[in-house]
Amino acid sequence: MDKWGVESYLFIKTIKTMKQLRKPNCPYHGNKEDVVRIIYGFPMPELMDRAERGEVKLGGCCVTDNNPEWYCKKCKKDIHEVLIAG
């Protein structure tokens, strides 16, 4: 798989994961109103529109095991799944 192939794969994987995951409450202010999904990988034009509307946050192309899944626009903090589980 070339570089673009890998990024498209990650993008598609993220979109599929989005549909499966329930949005968590923000652990800092207690509800999920301002919580958005963080999308990693190459942003498609449609995705950039969604980011501009504040529906998602773009996390860049550097994906590691420790990347947060969610972002709170109100608290301006990344939310890790482990924080919510605990």
Instruction: Report the alpha-carbon distance of residue 6 to residue 16 in Å, rounded.
Output: 15
Which of 22, 1, 11, 16 minimizes the C-alpha distance to 70?
22
Nearest residue (beta carbon) to Zn ion: 26
Residue 79 Cβ, how far from Zn ion at the closest point, in Å?
8
For Zn ion, the closer CB: 36 or 43: 36
Q: Does 56 bind Zn ion (CB under 5 A)?
A: no
Instruction: Report the alpha-carbon distance of residue 12 to residue 15 in Å, rounded.
Output: 5
Q: Does 74 bind Zn ion (CB under 5 A)?
A: yes
Instruction: Report the alpha-carbon distance of residue 26 to residue 78 in Å, rounded.
Output: 9
Q: Does 54 bind Zn ion (CB under 5 A)?
A: no
List interacting residues with Zn ion (CB under 5 A). 26, 28-29, 72, 74-75
